[in-house]
Structure 1
Amino acid sequence: MHQNSGNVLMISDEEHDLNLFRSQFVRHYNVFTASSIRKGFKTLEEYDIHVVLIKQKMNDMTGLQFSESISHSKPEVLSIIFAESEDTESLDIAIKKNLIYRYVNYPYDDKDLKMVLDGALKLSEAEYHNRELSGEIEKFKSKQEDILKLFKRYVPGEVVSQALDSSDEQLMSPGESRVVSVLFADIRGFTQFASHLRPSQVVSFLNDYWNEISDCIKKNKGSINKYMGDGLLAVFGAPVSYIDNHTNAVSAALDMIESLGSINKKYADLLGTEIKIGIGINTGEVVVGNVGTNDYMEYTVIGNTVNVASRMEAISKKIPNSIIISEHTRELVKDEFETSGPKEATIKGKGVSIPYFEVFRKKSDNIYNIRSRRESS
């Protein structure tokens, strides 16, 4: 590979940006363009791309989230992000952690950008001929394995991995804005029927229940942020992001409802009833980061997106084994899941209505139907 024949992909939701980049650099590189995150990901699957340039502010996710997403399947691809604001702290940290190659201020100077691209392509070529570096990375990961196995029992595994790779200064960073899907889930009436059980029986049931539910979330690439008695908060898109964060959240919710069958088969006689849960999901921008003291820290998500997700879960209390999603989440997943029409509920204590939708099933699934399952119970 020669630097003047490198394959460079530009991703922007502005057609003007793509046309301008193509006209400026097509004589220097093999230029590919994509007008959306999904089209960009498809191009990476179809072609041997060496360098990706992407705007930090995109509709579906940030440029940094996209770079994290492709790092799982395309670690050899170098990312360059167009920074459109002066707040570049998260991008500086990403460079230190080798998540991205560089960032360039936008609008860019074409001569400066060419110098950055040439440097990225030289590095890509060097790494192509020096793959033994990956062996050192694997050796480093193996040393962490015992520590990861221990701490992943108590906090999200992704958070542990980040902590091991970060300095104290990075751990106490002020935070980062991300577009994520937030999921709240809660067992209906648990306090009432648990009051008749011995403490050991309550703990045994909750451990079995959380094992089932946690598997559903992990399988769909989510991270459990915290357990709250008989409820939980899970996040899809932080601390690690994937292409289909919102779809993964709804798929996890459907799997959670389905998993109740085995739990109820085991515990229905002991509890005197079949357990039912409610799930609420919302998608939007949040602030994420490690908050706490020198003695104790907690990875947390903050913002109105979290509050709305909690309200979606509260709405689900009226409908056993229901999945309630916000209007924005429904817009993102409407092509993949069957939902109800728009409904409204009044927020307790605020006197205002909030729109919501109920999820019934995946459109490709002709067997599993959450609506019929709920009605049969």
Structure 2
Amino acid sequence: MTMPSLMQDNKMGVKKPTILYVDDEQFNLDAFVAAFRRYYTIYTATSAMEAIKILTQHEVELIITDQRMPEMTGVQFLEAVIPEYPHSVRMILTGFSDIDAIIKSINNGLVLRYITKPWNEDELKQIIDIGIKIYRQEQSNFLLMNSLKDLVNKHEKTLDLFQKYVPKDITDQFVNLPNEEPSLKAENRVVSVLFSDIRQFTKLTNTLDSKALVDYLNKYFSLMINIVIKHQGYVYKLLGDGLIAVFGAPISHIRNQQNAACCAAEMIEALDNFNKTMQEKINFKTTIGISIATGEAVVGHTISKHFLSYSVIGEVVDSALKIEELTREMRDVILIDEPTCSLIKDEAKLDELGQIDINGKQQKIYKLISIHHNPE
């Protein structure tokens, strides 16, 4: 049941407050209309059924009903209309002989207050005006709450969309900042950079139309991104068919290198089911190469008025890209550098492949065969 639209003050040229007055004696109805028609729009009914019909046709702010009527009492009438018209303010006219039933209805929330017979015009107008004020205040609160709910829903949708472009870890940092504007804060971190790349992707692009290719990439990256997040990594960039993930920034964990290695191993394992799923759609078996490099990087937010980016800068990123190039002639292989090896060797099975030049330095490269994952 929705709240009717808010009525404004009659001085502003809009509707007067509306009242439904129910009484089985026409004389009482006529007297009420004569006394209050200057102030309110008044609907009258001589029976409960007639009153219910009026409620279906008009917006009523306040209902006043006589307690003693032939078909049903005033309390019974109000009980009947509350489910469909819960927002109308309800009052009962009664003699002292009915006072116990009226007090019970007030305690049960059916009636705002009772009015004793015979009523005094000035006193009754004050009571009605209070009822109208209560109705309009509750109505205003109702509309305000709906507006707030709409704003919250829009905010949640915006934040959800934003977090598809900027990871939740970063948005949470900004949301919790005491200042209105985030500041550029860079720091040195030891991170592990994982780079994965699809083998023979050019062949696939020449085979599929654009729609099928986008569908393939969406499914592939959805799978891989979920694995990165599962292992507490941060998806730094998507580069065509490549993915760069960082472990240790923006949030650092105790086992960043182990998390990166376990993530890489699960990415390889996940390809079996992925290829089975895609086999009927495309004639292509997805294989990937993965590299992991560990080292110091400068990490932080790159910010302008219209742009926000999280940056990871350092030789460790170049190292990961250089090592990944060694996987081009291999399928479903994980290669890691010496710093990564030194931190996971007690939990991993590794093969040493020799040395290569990385950024002017000779460095040993290892093939990750398997790793035992102990969650933090």
Interval containing the TM-score (normalised by the shorter chain): 0.5 to 0.7
Q: In structure 1, what residue type is equivalent to 2:366?
A: F
Q: Structure 1: how far apart are the matches of 2:296 and 2:255?
A: 15
Aligned counterparts of 1:338 and 1:142: Cα–Cα separation in 2: 49
2:174–2:182 CA contact under 8 A, matched in 1: yes
Quote the residue 2:323 is aligned against: 312
Give the letter for the 1:362 counterpart: I
**Partner SS state of residue 364, structure 2:** strand
Query: Which residue type is aligned with residue 272 of structure 2?
Result: G
Provide the residue aligned with 1:361 in structure 2. 370
Counterpart in 1 of 2:166? 155
Please give the residue correspondences for 1:54-73 in structure 2 after superposition, counting only pairs within 5 Å: none
Residue 49 of structure 1 aligns with which residue? none
| AA at the equivalent of 2:337 | S
Partner residue in 2 for 1:201: 212
Are the aligned partners of 1:220 and 1:248 in contact in 2 as well (CA < 8 Å)?
yes
Judged with a 3 Å threshold, the aligned counterparts in structure 2 of structure 1 residues 152 and 216 are, in CA distance, closer, same or farther, namely same
Tell me the amino acid that sits aligned with residue 247 of structure 2.
F
310 and 229 in structure 1: CA distance in 2 versus 1, 3 angstrom threshold: same
Match of 1:302 among 313, 330, 341: 313
Counterpart residue identity of residue 237, structure 2? K
Alignment root-mean-square deviation, CA: 2.6
Quote the Cα distance in structure 1 between the aligned partners of 2:175 and 2:301.
13
Which residue of structure 2 lines up, in the alignment, with residue 94 of structure 1? Answer: none
Structure 1's unaligned 5+ residue stretches are 1-140, 366-377
Aligned pairs for 1:325-336 (under 5 A) are 325-336=336-347
The 1:353–1:272 alpha-carbon spacing in structure 2 relative to 1, beyond 3 Å, is farther
Which residue type is aligned with residue 182 of structure 1?
A: V
Contact 2:303 2:309 in 1 (8 A): yes
Take 2:172 and 2:350, find their aligned partners in 1: how far apart are those partners?
A: 36
Alignment of 1:102-141 (within 5 A): none
- Report Cα offsets for 1:233-289 as digits up to 9, x if no partner: 111111111110110000000010011112211223543231110111111111001
Instruction: Compute the displacement of 1:181 (Å).
Output: 0.9
Structure 1 residues 148 and 335 mapped into 2: Cα distance closer, same or farther (>3 Å)? farther
C-alpha contact (below 8 Å) 1:178/1:286 kept by paired residues: yes
Aligned position for 2:288: 277
Quote the Cα distance in structure 2 between the aligned partners of 1:314 and 1:323.
Answer: 11
What is the rounded CA distance, in whole Å, between the counterparts of 1:241 and 1:352 in structure 2?
A: 27
Q: Residue 184 in 1 paired to residue 195 in 2?
A: yes
Deviation, structure 1 residue 215:
1.1
- Give 1:342 deviation, angstroms: 4.5
2:234 matched to 1:213?
no
Residue 328 of structure 2 aligns to a residue whose secondary structure is helix
- Cα deviation per residue 1:184-230 (whole Å; 9 max; x = unaligned)? 11101112222211111001000100111011111101010111111
Distance 1:364 1:320 in 2: 23
Partner of 2:43: none
1:222 aligns with 2:224: no
The answer as to whether partners of 1:148 and 1:161 remain within 8 angstroms in 2 is no
Listed one character per residue, the Cα deviations across residues 59-118 of structure 1 (whole Å, up to 9, x for unaligned) are xxxxxxxxxxxxxxxxxxxxxxxxxxxxxxxxxxxxxxxxxxxxxxxxxxxxxxxxxxxx
In 2: Cα distance, 1:355 partner to 1:252 partner: 22
Distance 2:227 2:198 in 1: 16
Aligned CA distance change for structure 1 residues 363 and 175 (closer, same or farther; 3 Å): closer
Q: 2:184–2:303: 8 Å Cα contact kept in structure 1? A: no
1:343 has 2:343 as partner: no
Question: Is this contact kept in 1: 2:338–2:363, CA < 8 A?
Answer: no
Give aligned pairs, total: 223
Structure 2: segments with no counterpart, 5+ residues? 1-151
TM-score w.r.t. the length of structure 1 is 0.55
Once the 2 structures are TM-superposed, how far is the Cα of residue 346 of structure 1 from its aligned partner? 5.0
1:143: how far off?
A: 11
Q: CA deviation at 1:319?
A: 1.6
Instruction: Report deviation, 1:144.
Output: 7.2
SS in 2 for 1:180: strand
| Higher-Rg member (1/2) | 2
State how 1:35-46 maps to structure 2 within 5 Å.
none
Name the CA distance, whole Å, in 2 between partners of 1:330 and 1:170: 41
Correspondence for 2:142: none
1:302-352 Cα distance to aligned partner (Å, 9 max, x none): 0011111111211122221111100000000001111102522356xx887
Deviation at 1:357, TM superposition (A): 0.4
